Amino acid sequence: MRTKLITLVATLALLASASAQSTITVAIPSGPPGFDPQNNNQAVASGVYINIFDYLIFKDAQGEFQPALATSWEAVSDTAWRVSLREGVTWHDGEPFTADDVEFTFERVANDPLLVRNSYYSNITDVEVVNDHEVIFHTAEPDPIFLSALSRNGASVIPRHYYESAGVEAASLTPIGTGPYRFVEYRTDDRLVLEAFDNYWGGRPAFDRAVFRIIPENSTAVSELLTGGVDIVTTVNVSEVGRIEASTAADIAVVGGNRTDYLTFNVSEDQVTADPLVRAAVDYAVDDALLAEILTDGAGVPVRARVSPETSFSPLEYYDTYLFDQERARELLAEAGYAPGELTLKLMGATSNADAADLVAAMLADVGVQADIELFEKSVWNSRYWQPGDFTNIAFGASSDSSFDYGNSLIDLTCPDGVHAKRSHWCNQAFTDLVEAANVEFDATIRAGLLKQATDIILEQRPQYYLYSGATFVGVRKGLNFVPRADSLIVLAETTTTP
Amino acid sequence: MKLLRALSKHPLAITGLVILLGFLVVTMLAPLLTPHDPLQQHLRARLLPPFWLPGGTLEYPLGTDQLGRDLLSRIIQGSRVAVLVAFGATTLVILVGTTVGLLSGFFGGLLDTATMRVVDVIISVPDIILYLTIIALAGPSLTLVIVVIGLVGWTTLARVVRSEVLTLRRREYVEAARALGQAELTSAFRQVLPNVLGTVVAIATLKASSVIIAESTLSYLGFGVQPPTITWGQLLAQGQQYVATAWWLSTFPGLAITLLSLSLIFLGNWLRDLFDPRSNG
Amino acid sequence: MTGYFLRRLLQVIPTLVGITLLVFVTVRLSGDPIASYLGSDAADSAMITAEQEAAIRAHLGLDKPLALQYVLFLRNITLGDFGGSFIYQGRPALDLLIERVPATARLAAAALLVAILISLPGGVIAALNRNKPADTLVNAFSVIGDAMPNFWLGVMLILLFSVKFGWLPVSGTGSWRHLLLPAITLGTSMAALQTRLMRSGLIEVLNQDYVRTARAKGLSTWSVVFKHAMRNAALGYVTLLGLAIPSLLGGSVVVERIFAWPGVGLLFINGLGGRDMALIQAVVVFSAAMVILANLVVDLLYTLIDPRVRYA
């Protein structure tokens, strides 16, 4: 009798522990706007999509290309890439993944101008299906960094059969992918619930369920972390770092990345910042290291160009270095014809730039330049001044580049379509030619050389003045083996608990 | 004189008045009273606590923020905007509300109907939602904040004034004045205004307190007056980010807001009780 | 009587039209919606070519003359179509709104309950102890409730009850425990006004002749209060329902953000931040409709509670 009872209890206990689902909860500041990976630009969304969808090629934490849905790849010519696809992969609904899906995915984003990601892939002219597990990408122009395009935000592979049968709307509401987690439900601004996909080609992930909770107020998210309500907080404000460090429940992880904070100069003729001497003076007047120290609690690294160790082809001689020489700044100002106190520069930005603006203003004052700060609420700043480049003198900005390729990031400054060039009203043909040449150059050494020349132009002309390469703070509860990535992808498949 | 005597019986109202006068004095003398320049950074004295706590110093009596700026100086400086917004918006409310109420009640007819429709539109949308919609989309600025809060807030006042006018129109002395040939509008003003003034002031005072809270809420949501202009709402919102590690940054501005608001409410309550014939105190 | 209500309902229409005009004009005059379509929180600089921009503009109907856009907008609203929300990838704004209403409704109901639980006993105690210490205390609390910004209170409550004591969850939805702190935050700001109204309403009633007579006859204070005074004070209290709706909707904007409560308020804030015309319009019209509805209901309740009230 007693043995039977013990057996019963043991079985029940076993069943109970087996049925207890393990859940990992991540706090994100805003929700993905939908689940069409080709139609949005938001960092948060891409960070989440990586759990539902796969790329063809996946960059690991060291930035090396790893096979994902593609197992091998090679450039067969300047404008053609042969990619072999993984076999035995199924979509969340059981259908097999084939080359057909790859053709559908990339031809869709390349051909539809209404999709936000369109311009990143418009270089693709055709996706040729060789057989069920092999495709050849044909590009219009030679594209040495084509592989980066296949492993960046926007390159998630989507299922043809589902998009065609259910329609785009349904497909972007309840997505189907090949990723480690399948979609269960999404309550807008509340939570996204995913559950582990048994047949994932990379093996079933450690956690049965993944929940993304949307918590806009950062102090609330941190409070949740400290009380065990969430396991990870993806972006922790500098002001909250101390709270997590002081607690026994969680740790702070500092992640690099290529998000760079900078000042953009308006170089149009009617501006005082049209004078390169003035721009140079600002460069020498501002102490990048001090800014990084105060604004990012020392985690940011001063830079002179938009570089970072994780970005390929990054000229790292401009990383962790900056120009700061107040005497030189004063000399340059005098050369430009300004006596101390004579020059007034406007500093514009969003409310979140308030502290940075104050610090820069104080530094400018030290060399005899009056600073006039004008800040705006974020959406007003964005739509009225920032996007159209309609600001006076100096504007605060920050950008990152999910392709993690330096040459790609320089496109932003090319004329006439580069976003940053438009904002700065800077059009330099020599620079544009160099970048365009570099981005069709397959030889790595030659490419690096061209990019260096292009960088020299930026350093001399200063349409933008780079401050520091940002760091992100991530809060992780103790006992969790989560590695935050430089590209902000929240990869839960590889997350486990430490024993 | 009668007023003062009435006042002396109500300690709360007196407290309110004293606090209000105190704020006004501080606002006017702000540049003389701030121990430091409110915009001056002291990068080696960042996030210092108030002087009575370990690490604090009398040099920065209420502590410093993340750029080392003196909190007390910033609060004093911020009182200027608080008072400006409160007075500015309230004055607008009084002017627009009284005028509209008078004209609408007196002339009646199409003007009255149209006005009441406009009032309906404004009061149908919750205040903060209306403020946010207009300010967020047009882009926040000090002037806009004052104007929007003022132009949304006149409705209650207008209605009260209008009903006073309607009541008085039926009374004889207006008829009599008309019979004597006095211009109608002038007679209306002369008769109605004194009766209405008390209520107007009472309502306006209470309105002023909600204006201050509204400004701070706008700032918290990011749609308030932008830096480098200092407002209490902004200080509160900025301080909110450090609420767990540097509690003084949000607590003292919060106290300032609460205190000024309180003083206006005490005063307003007393005034309303005074002028409302139906209330027994 | 029905005539009065029918007329009131008809009057609602021009009011709502006025609101749509107000919102439309504000949104359109305030800047280029395209910028929001591209997202302001971008990981990558959105490289949009001129052709793409033209295509997006045509797709959103932004290339038509302004007046025509308004007329189309108005027509669409009457068909229940507020447009697709940019920031939620084109989902119909009305659908999103309807999805979020239950959460805000739960919060509002709980907050109203909190407000009543505070203001009812508070107002009664104050009225019965007029000008004595208990009255001053209640007054002071109610005034502080009015004067204190609710977002400050919300964060403080989290730090105290969730983080420090660990009694309640920090944010989100789930159980009644999740509802408690947000309801208290939202409810206390309303409780202040309601307490005062309860108090003054009760005082007024207590001073009336029939009540004095009842007391003089020896009836206990309590029975007088409950039987006679409360029923009459209820009239004034019902006004509160009319006032409560705008206050609750407005307050939810802040409270939902702090507590990550997925209701209409949070939807609105996101819409504003993203300059999402469809969302902003939908929420504003919705809240106006709610307020108008509440007022009509209050008027109806008046006639039911007090048969002497008649509308011309």
In the CATH scheme, what is the homologous superfamily, with its name and number, of domain A55-162?
Dipeptide-binding Protein; Domain 1 (3.90.76.10)
Instruction: Yes or no: say if A241 and A252 are a contact pair by the CB < 8 Å rule.
Output: yes
Pairing between strand A464-469 and A480-481?
unpaired
Model pLDDT, residue A468: 93
CA distance C291 to B10: 37
Place of tokens 């996101």: C270
Model pLDDT, residue C285: 87
Vertex A87, ends A84 and A91: CA angle to 5°?
115
Q: Which domain holds residue B202?
A: 9-34+58-275
Q: Do A290 and B241 touch (CB under 8 A)?
A: no
The conformation of residue A140, written as its DSSP 8-state character, comes to S
Contacts of C292 in chain B (CB under 8 A): 124
Task: Catalogue the E-assigned strands of A256-322.
Answer: 260-265, 301-302
Site from A35, A188, A384 to mutate, C interface, most C CB atoms within 10 angstroms: A188
Q: What is the DSSP string of C3-72?
A: HHHHHHHHHHHHHHHHHHHHHHHHHHHT--THHHHT-SSBSS-----HHHHHHHHHHTTTTS-HHHHHHH
Nearest CA in chain C to A219: C155
Instruction: Report yes or no: C59 at the A interface, CB cutoff 8 Å.
Output: yes
Which residue in C266, C244, C280, C306 sits closest to C109, CA to CA? C244
- Residue B51 domain-assigned? no
CA distance C47 to A120: 8
Beginning with the edge strand found earlier in the chain, give each strand of the sheet holding A70-77 in spatial order: A70-77, A80-85, A134-139, A124-131
Touching subunits of B (3+ CB pairs, under 8 Å) are A, C
Q: Between the CA atoms of C221, C224, C227 and C233, what dihedral angle is there, to the nearest 10 degrees?
A: -90
CA distance A489 to C86: 23
pLDDT, tens only, A238-284: 889 988 999 999 999 988 888 899 999 999 999 999 999 999 999 99
Model pLDDT, residue B43: 86
Model pLDDT, residue B32: 84
A414's tokens: 């090319």
Amino acid symbol at B41:
Q
- Residue B117 C-alpha, separation from nearest chain C C-alpha, in angstroms: 6
In the CATH scheme, what is the homologous superfamily, with its name and number, of domain C100-305?
MetI-like (1.10.3720.10)
Site from C26, C36, C41, C44 to mutate, A interface, most A CB atoms within 10 angstroms: C44
Q: What is the DSSP string of B174-243?
A: HHHHHHTT--HHHHHHHHHHHHHHHHHHHHHHHHHHHHHHHHHHHHHTT-SSPTTS--HHHHHHHHHTTT
Instruction: Yes or no: say if A408 and A387 are a contact pair by the CB < 8 Å rule.
Output: no
CATH 1.10.3720.10 domain residues, chain C: 100-305
**What CATH number is attached to the domain comprising B79?**
1.10.3720.10
Q: What is the DSSP string of A147-199?
A: HHHTTSTT-----HHHHHHH-HHHHHHS---SSSEEEEEEETTTEEEEEE-TT
First to last CA, chain B: 19
Instruction: Yes or no: say if B104 and B51 are a contact pair by the CB < 8 Å rule.
Output: no
Collect all residues with Cβ–Cβ distance below 8 Å to A123 and sequence separation of at least 6.
Answer: A110, A139, A140, A141, A143, A149
Place of tokens 């939570």: A191
Q: Is A364 helix (H, G, I), strand (E, B) or coil?
A: helix
CA distance A234 to A28: 6
- Residue B44 domain-assigned? no
Q: Across the interface, which of A113, A187, A384 has its CB nearest the CB of C262?
A: A187
Q: Is A218 helix (H, G, I), strand (E, B) or coil?
A: helix
Which residues are bridge partners to A262 per DSSP?
A397, A466
C-beta neighbour count of B64 within 10 angstroms: 28
- Residue B234 domain-assigned? yes
C56's tokens: 């997006």
- Residue A378 C-alpha, separation from nearest chain B C-alpha, in angstroms: 8
Model pLDDT, residue B175: 63
The conformation of residue C187, written as its DSSP 8-state character, comes to H
Domain ranges (residues) in chain A: 55-162, 181-256+472-497, 260-469
Q: Between the CA atoms of A426, A427, A429 and A435, what dihedral angle is there, to the nearest 10 degrees?
A: 60
Q: Across the interface, which of C89, C258, C272 has its CB nearest the CB of A39?
A: C89
Q: Which residues in chain C (275-294) have CB-CB distances under 8 A to chain B? A: 275, 280, 283-284, 287-288, 291-292
Contacts of A386 in chain C (CB under 8 A): 35
Q: Which residues in chain A (140-169) have CB-CB distances under 8 A to chain C? A: 153, 169
| C-alpha B127 chain-centroid distance | 14
How much is the CA Rg of chain A, to the nearest whole Å? 25
Model pLDDT, residue A62: 77
Q: Across the interface, which of A42, A169, A213 has its CB nearest the CB of C42?
A: A42
C-beta neighbour count of C276 within 10 angstroms: 28
Instruction: Yes or no: say if A260 and A404 are a contact pair by the CB < 8 Å rule.
Output: no
Task: Specify burial of residue C220 (Cβ count, 10 A radius: 0-12, 13-18, 19+).
Answer: exposed
Instruction: Yes or no: say if A177 and A202 are a contact pair by the CB < 8 Å rule.
Output: no
Contacts made by residues A71-74, CB under 8 angstroms, sequence distance 24+ = A73/A147
Q: Which residues in chain B (49-68) have CB-CB distances under 8 A to chain C? A: none
The conformation of residue A352, written as its DSSP 8-state character, comes to G
Instruction: Report yes or no: B22 at the C interface, CB cutoff 8 Å.
Output: no
Contacts of B223 in chain C (CB under 8 A): 272
Q: Which residues in chain B (180-219) have CB-CB distances under 8 A to chain A? A: none
Q: What is the DSSP string of chain B?
A: -HHHHHHHT-HHHHHHHHHHHHHHHHHHTHHHH-SS-TT---TTSTTPPPTTSTT--TTSTT-B-TT--BHHHHHHHHHHHHHHHHHHHHHHHHHHHHHHHHHHHHH-HHHHHHHHHHHHHHHHS-HHHHHHHHHHHH---HHHHHHHHHHHHHHHHHHHHHHHHHHHHTSHHHHHHHHTT--HHHHHHHHHHHHHHHHHHHHHHHHHHHHHHHHHHHHHTT-SSPTTS--HHHHHHHHHTTTTT-THHHHHHHHHHHHHHHHHHHHHHHHHHHH-TT---
Amino acid symbol at C259:
F
In this structure, of A256-270, B13-27, B261-275, the range with the lowest mean pLDDT score is: B261-275
Model pLDDT, residue A428: 93
Q: Do B227 and A240 touch (CB under 8 A)?
A: no
CA distance C141 to B202: 20
Spell out the per-residue pLDDT of chain A, length 499, in tens. 666 666 666 666 555 555 578 999 999 998 888 899 998 877 888 889 999 999 999 988 777 899 999 999 999 998 999 999 999 999 999 999 999 999 999 999 999 888 888 888 989 999 999 999 999 999 998 888 898 889 888 899 999 999 999 999 899 899 999 999 999 999 888 999 999 999 999 999 999 999 999 998 898 999 999 999 999 999 999 889 988 999 999 999 988 888 899 999 999 999 999 999 999 999 999 999 999 999 998 889 999 999 988 888 999 999 999 999 999 999 999 999 999 999 999 999 998 899 999 999 999 999 999 999 999 888 788 877 887 888 999 999 988 888 888 999 999 999 888 889 989 999 999 999 999 999 988 898 999 999 999 999 999 999 999 999 978 899 999 999 888 888 888 888 888 887 6
Amino acid symbol at C129:
N
Model pLDDT, residue B280: 39
pLDDT, tens only, B117-171: 888 888 888 888 888 888 877 778 888 888 888 888 888 888 888 887 777 766 6
Model pLDDT, residue C41: 45
Model pLDDT, residue A178: 95
In this structure, of A229-238, B223-232, B252-261, C205-214, the range with the lowest mean pLDDT score is: C205-214
Task: Specify burial of residue A194 (Cβ count, 10 A radius: 0-12, 13-18, 19+).
Answer: buried
Q: Do B220 and C249 touch (CB under 8 A)?
A: no
Say which residue, A477 or B174, is predicted with more confidence: A477
Amino acid symbol at B139:
G
Q: Across the interface, which of B238, B240, B244 has its CB nearest the CB of A243?
A: B244
Architecture of domain A260-469: Roll (3.10)
The conformation of residue C229, written as its DSSP 8-state character, comes to I
Q: Is A270 helix (H, G, I), strand (E, B) or coil?
A: coil
Model pLDDT, residue B30: 84
Task: Specify burial of residue B202 (Cβ count, 10 A radius: 0-12, 13-18, 19+).
Answer: buried
What pTM, to 2 d.p., does this model score?
0.85
CA distance B257 to B249: 13
Q: Taking all residues of chain C, what is their mean pLDDT, rounded to a whole number?
A: 79
C95's tokens: 């659908």
Q: Do A190 and C38 touch (CB under 8 A)?
A: no
Q: What is the DSSP string of A473-490?
A: EEEEETTEE----TT---
Model pLDDT, residue B279: 44
Model pLDDT, residue C43: 46
CA distance B4 to C164: 48
Amino acid symbol at A63:
G
Instruction: Yes or no: say if B158 and B97 are a contact pair by the CB < 8 Å rule.
Output: yes
pLDDT, tens only, B72-110: 999 999 998 888 888 888 899 888 988 888 888 877 788
Model pLDDT, residue A466: 94
Q: Taking all residues of chain B, what is their mean pLDDT, rounded to a whole number?
A: 82
Model pLDDT, residue B241: 82
- What's the CATH fold of domain A181-256+472-497? D-Maltodextrin-Binding Protein; domain 2 (3.40.190)
Number of domains in chain B: 1
Model pLDDT, residue B281: 35
User: A203: alpha, beta or left, given left = phi > 0 and alpha = psi -120 to 50?
Assistant: left
Instruction: Yes or no: say if C257 and C265 are a contact pair by the CB < 8 Å rule.
Output: yes
Which regions in chain C score pLDDT beneath 50? 40-43, 312
Contacts of C99 in chain A (CB under 8 A): 187-188
